């Protein structure tokens, strides 16, 4: 099991400058410092979509990276910061030896290889891979056998929980003695960010709390509105839930939840404050996305719910429902989707 350690007064060079403390999740063995992803020099290249072009290792020769130089790669076209409250994770491969090394980097997302590339790394050369798409990643580095040493390998895992509002860097480093691996991140509180696995038959309940500076329309909101996502299938389904305040332009993220829903599991998010919202449910095991607009008419004395069901074919089905109590000053016929 991984352990998390708060780095309080330890001097550590971290990949991205950010306010707050640092935490480190150790993978055996542990290296205590980070290269700087903002270092000058090198080239910036985006990794090809493996579904469209061959993997990098199908080239005739490894990618050469000069000493003290950085080469960049990007996996995924999604910019997490523009679609919610999460940030990409930075994966770093570093050569901390005084001579050239020839490692191969293999990255898998959800058990599918998305990058496989061999490098010739000069001393203090690094490779930075931006993971811009949510998923469960395993990164593995392999050093070929030499006359002095057998083949060596080391890996690091990056789960949904690493994709939050913090700056997170996973590092694989070739040193004189071994290959080291660890994950380090800032420790800022991430309001509105939830990452949870919901067990079979259980319900995870959260609340989308209005951020500081949010201006309510002054409407008496009553019981509020609920977004409920249910997995009735026999398989575990990862799902992302986004709630944005639609009254602003552009919309402002309010809640960003990633739920791994086991069979018959449910994620429920309450929205207590009256307003206009866009509710987005995206399946992470398919391309299915459902978007629902909620206005102030849903925040009267009735209980209203948007319910989203996942199916075994990778699709989503949603419906918005409300009770039909008579509310003073509200015409029930004006509320769509009542039952």
Q: Is the same domain home to 299 and 180?
A: no
Q: Is the same domain home to 141 and 224?
A: no
Q: Distance (Å, rounded) from C-alpha 248 to C-alpha 259?
A: 26
Q: Is the same domain home to 181 and 222?
A: no
In a domain, 339, yes or no: no
Strands 22-27 and 4-7: antiparallel
Give the alpha-carbon dihedral of 208, 210, 212, 214, to 10 degrees. 150
Q: Distance (Å, rounded) from C-alpha 318 to C-alpha 267?
A: 14
Please, which residues bridge with residue 287 across strands?
none
CATH number at residue 306: 2.60.40
In a domain, 218, yes or no: yes
Final residue of a domain: which of 136, 153, 186?
Answer: 186
Give the alpha-carbon dihedral of 301, 210, 248, 305, to 10 degrees. -40
Q: Is the same domain home to 32 and 168?
A: yes
Q: What is the pLDDT at residue 15?
A: 37
Closest CA to 75 of 134, 17, 120, 119: 134
Angle at 262 between CA 261 and CA 263, to 5 degrees: 120
Q: Three-state SS string across 95-133, please? A: ECCCCCECCEEEEEECCEEEEEEEEEECCCCEEEEEECC
Query: CB 42: neighbour CB atoms within 10 A?
Result: 17
Q: Which domain holds residue 45?
A: 4-186
Q: What is the pLDDT at residue 230?
A: 99
Closest CA to 64 of 35, 31, 103, 37: 103
Q: Is the same domain home to 33 and 179?
A: yes
The total number of structural domains that make up the chain: 2
Q: What is the pLDDT at residue 220?
A: 53
In a domain, 34, yes or no: yes
Q: Is the same domain home to 118 and 235?
A: no
Final residue of a domain: which of 186, 221, 246?
Answer: 186
In a domain, 302, yes or no: yes
Chain centre distance of CA 41: 28
Q: Is the same domain home to 218 and 284?
A: yes
Final residue of a domain: which of 137, 170, 186?
Answer: 186
Q: Is the same domain home to 172 and 253?
A: no
Query: Average pLDDT of each block of 10 consecutive residues along the chain (339 residues)?
Result: 33 37 42 38 38 45 96 88 91 97 97 96 98 96 89 97 97 94 96 97 92 53 88 98 82 92 98 93 96 91 94 97 80 47
Q: Is the same domain home to 252 and 278?
A: yes
Q: What is the pLDDT at residue 257?
A: 98
Strands 137-143 and 152-158: antiparallel
Q: What is the pLDDT at residue 91?
A: 99
Q: What is the pLDDT at residue 77?
A: 82
Q: Is the same domain home to 179 and 55?
A: yes
Strands 252-261 and 265-271: unpaired
Q: Is the same domain home to 64 and 112?
A: yes
Chain centre distance of CA 53: 25
CA terminus-to-terminus distance, the chain? 48
Q: Distance (Å, rounded) from C-alpha 291 to C-alpha 76?
A: 22
In a domain, 240, yes or no: yes
Looking up tokens 């590339």, which residue turns up? 117
In a domain, 36, yes or no: yes
CA distances to 244, 292, 308 from 131, rounded to whole Å, are 23, 28, 28
Tokens of 119: 């490098």
Q: Is the same domain home to 150 and 241?
A: no
């Amino acid at each position: 099991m991984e352990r998390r350690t708060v780095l309080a007064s330890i001097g550590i060079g971290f990949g991205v400058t950010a306010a707050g403390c640092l935490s480190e999740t150790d993978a055996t063995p542990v290296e205590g410092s980070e290269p700087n992803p903002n270092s000058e020099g090198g080239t910036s290249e985006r990794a090809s979509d493996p579904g469209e072009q061959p993997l990098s290792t199908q080239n005739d020769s490894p990618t050469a990276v000069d000493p003290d130089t950085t080469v960049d790669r990007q996996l995924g076209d999604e910019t997490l910061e523009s679609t919610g409250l999460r940030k990409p994770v930075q994966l770093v491969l570093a050569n901390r030896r005084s001579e050239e090394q020839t490692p191969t980097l293999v990255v898998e997302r959800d058990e599918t290889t998305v990058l496989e590339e061999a490098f010739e790394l000069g001393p203090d050369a690094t490779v930075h891979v931006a993971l811009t798409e949510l998923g469960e990643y395993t990164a593995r580095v392999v050093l070929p056998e030499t006359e002095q040493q057998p083949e060596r390998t080391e890996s690091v895992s990056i789960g949904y929980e690493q994709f939050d509002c913090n700056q997170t860097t996973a590092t694989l480093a070739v040193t004189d003695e071994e290959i080291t691996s660890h994950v380090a991140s800032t420790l800022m509180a991430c309001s509105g960010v939830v990452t949870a696995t919901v067990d079979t038959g259980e319900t995870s309940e959260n609340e989308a709390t209005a951020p500081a500076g949010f201006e309510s329309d002054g409407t008496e909101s009553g019981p509020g509105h609920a977004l409920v996502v249910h997995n009735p299938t026999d398989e575990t389904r990862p799902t992302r839930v986004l709630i944005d305040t639609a009254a602003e332009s552009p919309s402002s993220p309010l809640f960003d939840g990633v739920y791994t829903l086991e069979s018959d599991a449910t994620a429920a998010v309450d929205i207590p404050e009256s307003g206009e919202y866009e509710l987005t449910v995206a399946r992470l095991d398919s391309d299915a996305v459902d978007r629902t607009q909620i206005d102030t008419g849903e925040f009267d004395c009735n209980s209203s719910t948007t319910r989203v069901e996942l199916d075994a074919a990778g699709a989503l089905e949603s419906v918005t429902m409300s009770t039909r109590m008579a509310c003073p000053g509200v015409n029930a016929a004006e509320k769509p989707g009542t039952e």
